[in-house]
Chains A and B, each alone.
Chain A
Amino acid sequence: MSADITTTSPETAPQPSPGPAPVDKRVPRGHKRLLTRRDRVTLAFMAGVPTVLHVALVWVTAIASIFLAFTSWDGIGFDSIKWVGLDNFKQLFSDNPQFWPAVEHNIIWFVVLILIPTPMGLFLAVQLDKKIRFSRVYQTAYFLPVVVSLAVTGFVWQLVYNPDTGLINSLIGANKPGHYIDWIGDPHLNLWAVLVAASWRHTGYMMILYLAGLKGVDPSLREASSLDGANEWQTFKNVIFPTLRPTNTVVLVVTIIEALRAFDLVFVFNKGAQGTELLSILITNNIIGESSRIGYGSAIAVVLLVISLAVIIPYLIATFRKERRA
């Protein structure tokens, strides 16, 4: 891979320069160093401290969690770590009644986000891009849900959905015995109820991304297509949308990440009870608390990590390939 780069990119072209770089020509070599001692100490700190922190907090812990996935540990004393091989994964795939629903819900989460709020966000962005009056006001209104923390969003929507005193049931009178709609508890309903809240937020997010993308569309393209007699829909479909390709990639990645890290909204809503299980919540439930099942929880975390990598690695490869070509 690095060989490819050196042959194709002009900056690092492999012509072995006969002499030192131009800067060095002016500076006599050997006696004076480019950096003072102080500079070097500063640099060492600037590079060293983040590296140590990064390695300790990201890599060591990540690798520790992969290691722990093959053990059984209650978190009390390191000597109670027992190697159990693949047992955790076996149990997870066969005995845990919540695991497969959780995977399914994470997938549903992604599909819904990509099918509903994403086109909605694009639609809103296109409308706002027409420089209509009060465009800023609308923009702010739609973006507001993104600014609010998801935990708060969950709390607010929980009030809306509360089966006894919530807004919806009070309005439609579905809080009486006999005809009762349990938005939070019914396993056939609650995931969709949460997804409405998630979509409500995601629409604004997508709108901002697309709005930024639309600002980058060359106005002469629009002009040209209108000169050619294309109507608004044709212009959008054949001219504008194709130029949004890079934005679409960002949108796809962002949406996948949103689906995989979905947590806070559901945790506040009903703690991932029947019908709303998510991988992230299973991890938390197993790891946090007294006499925790750290090995088992880590095994779920590893599954989530593998899924994330399976999505992200192809994307990174594609991006790097594109860069190399550019």
Chain B
Amino acid sequence: MSESSFSRLSHLSVLEAESIHILRETVAEFANPVMLYSIGKDSQVLLHLARKAFHPAPLPFPLLHVDTTWKFRDMYAFRDRFTAQHGFRLLVHQNRKALAEGMNPFDHGSQKYTHAVKTQALLEALAMHGFDAAFGGARRDEEKSRAKERVFSFRDRHGQWEPRRQRPELWNLYNGRIDTGESMRVFPLSNWTELDVWHYILEERIPVVPLYFAAERPVVERSGNLIMVDDERMRLKPGEHPVMKRVRFRTLGCYPLSGAIESSATTVEAVIDEMVNARQSERQGRLIDHDEEGSMELKKREGYF
């Protein structure tokens, strides 16, 4: 943050200080933390904050990318370039069994697919490496069940979240006590909104995947969503023909499940401008949120982030 804004008690600088506090607290309290890295804008902000928290030391934990193998090609390229450039330790984990059995976003429905290649894969990776705390970039403004989430979110031996049994969380005092096999999800960006995240990206010049900015991309329209045809694995339905449209993404996931929006915003300022004036929430393009009412809550209970 620039000198002028740092000296003031603006809400962004207060949020930054709070997030750094949470990052340091987690590293001090846990034996083996990890940061979930999804390559999205929130991950980039979280990673930037982590660099600030431990500067001049290197990050005291590795990054973990739970890879469904269906991310956009641009995301993989960005991930490899960015992590190599900063020398971050990057772990990539896939649910090999499910993928070997042919699990894909077309045949199995987004529920089953997400459970296998994201939730299951995450739990597998956490168990395999013995991670006892995992940072995530989730924000409370994203979805209603996320608004109920604690900063330190306790998960039982099966990685499950029980909303009725959350630990009360007071002041900035986080209870990091767990037994062997239990773990904590930690959300340093809890109090940030989508606007805060973009504003911070602008002020701090944080690099993000180019897919967030408008460009001509091949898309098909499918039940009201613009789905990008990112590679040859995309299954086109009869009568579907990809057309070039000027689009960008507000949120990035698996490409067959991420809806694009038509846009001409090619800079961070333009993205913010569009967001402030267009009144659609960022997750409306997330197909997995809309399976049924309360679907995010159910996924979270099972261990989804």
Asked if A pairs with B, the answer is no
Residues on B facing A (Cβ under 8 Å): none
Residues on A facing B (Cβ under 8 Å): none
